[in-house]
Each structure stands twice: as C-alpha cells, then as structure tokens.
Amino acid sequence: MTAPGREQDLLQAFAHLADTLVADYDVVDMLQNLVDSCRDLLDATAAGVLLADSSGDLDLIASTSEASRLVEVMQLAAYAGPCIESFSTGTMVSVPDISRAPDAWRLFREKAIEQGFAAVDAIPMRLRETTIGTLNLLRAEPGPLSENDRVAAQAFADVATIGILHERTLAESEQIRQQLQYALNSRIVIEQAKGVIAHTHGIPIDDAFTVLRSYARSHQQGISTVAQAVVDRTVEL
C-alpha cells in the first residue's frame, strides 16, 4: 500500500471510530471496528481488545477471529504475558520475538508459537492515570513494530478508551464501572448467541460469529442487541 493510500485509509478508520461516539453507541461494535482496522491497516496478523472487569481481571471483548486458537493465546497473555504487564504498568509492551519471552510467560510463549505467532505488542488503553484494558497486536513474523504503526496503534487505543469512557470524568467512577461492566456482560450474551447459532446451523463457533455480525450490520443493529434477541429467541438467524 502506498504511503498516501495508507494515510487515507487510516484517516477513514479514525473517522469511522469517531462516528461510533454517539448516544447509545454499542461498545462491542466500536471495539470490533477497532481490531479489524488494526489487522487491515497495521502490521498485525491478528488483534484483540482485553478489558478489565471490576476485579481487575482482563477479559477478551473483541478479536479479529473467534477461533479458539486466538482466544486462548489472548487469555494466556492476559494471565501472565505482555497484556497483563501493559495493563499493570500503563505502558506499551513489545515482544519482537516471542520465542525469547521470559520464562514467567512460558504458557503464553508456548501457545503463541504453537499457533503460529512470532511477535506481539500490547498497547495500554489509558486515560490519564486510569488504564481500562489493552489493545493487542499479534504477528506471524518476528521483528519490531514500525514507529509509524506504534503511533497509529496507540492512537487507535486512545480513541477507543475515550469512546468507552464516553466523556465521563474520572470522578464518575461508578459510571465508568457500569460502562465497562456493560461491555463485559455483552460479551457473555454474544458467546451464548454464538452457541445457539452454531447449534442451530451446525457450524463452527467462528462462523457463528460471522453470521451474527453480518445480520447486525445488514439490519443496522448493534451486535449486542442482536445477540440478546437470539438468546431470547425473538430473532432466528
């Protein structure tokens, strides 16, 4: 991709993310657009967003694939790996060669290599002194993320953070917790809906999410809204 073309695509991606910052926007939709943009525009084979729950544990909210291989790698990184370190320190953590990751991250290191990932970058989703999660980029080839991609990835994470907090001040901590809890609860409903769709159609879970998202987009509804309707049996996909 040429430099002018890439810059135009980045601007469009930021504009699209900004469009989600309206009343009653869907958090999961916004984060799904974020990870898809990172995969398509940055040096990333896969991307995911982990948000902290009320106990400070990181949970996967959006990813470029619902395949178990990616979900497991992300969750292991959230337990002992670059994601939890980035969340804890509020700084970007880059691992250009996962095979050389610390022994403390052994489970993450082994699973990531097994699944074909060679490098990872964890970017904090942070506003002032509050870190709410991480944006995570996985790559199939070893090597550092370019400086331009590092800047763009942090900007993407910042936009998403502002979107989640949605103009609330840090003093409104209860509202912030409620917003984060809504995203986490939405993910649970989406998992349930994926199971219903997979069972009904006899398809893999990853394909079930594609069906769910396609329906939401074609009907101009939020993924969470459609997922709840599927679980309530008021919509059949």
Interval 100-111: pLDDT, tens: 999 999 999 999
CATH number at residue 109: 3.30.450.40
pLDDT at residue 68 is higher than 50: yes
- The answer on 153 and 39 residing in a single domain is yes
With CA atoms as reference, report the closest residue to 40 among 16, 66, 15, 64: 64
CATH number at residue 188: 1.10.10.10
- The answer on 193 and 119 residing in a single domain is no
Q: What's the chain look like in SS3? A: CCHHHHHHHHHHHHHHHHHCCCCCCCHHHHHHHHHHHHHHHCCCCEEEEEEECCCCCEEEEEECCCCHHHHHHHHHHHHCCHHHHHHHHCCCEEECCHHHCCHHHHHHHHHHHHCCCCEEEEEEEEECCEEEEEEEEEECCCCCCCHHHHHHHHHHHHHHHHHHHCCCCCCCHHHHHHHHHHHHHHHHHHHHHHHHHHHHHCCCHHHHHHHHHHHHHHCCCCHHHHHHHHHCCCCCC
Pairing outcome for strands 93-95 and 119-127? antiparallel
137-151 burial, b at 16+ Cβ within 10 Å, e below that, comes to bbbeeeeebeeebbe
- The answer on 117 and 15 residing in a single domain is yes
- The answer on 131 and 84 residing in a single domain is yes
pLDDT at residue 168 is higher than 60: no
- The answer on 191 and 164 residing in a single domain is no
Report the number of distinct structural domains present in the chain: 2
pTM over 0.85: no
- The answer on 145 and 29 residing in a single domain is yes
Note down the domain range covering 222.
173-230
> What mean pLDDT do residues 166-180 have?
60
Share of the chain above pLDDT 90, in %: 57
Interval 204-236: pLDDT, tens: 998 999 999 999 999 989 899 999 999 999 988
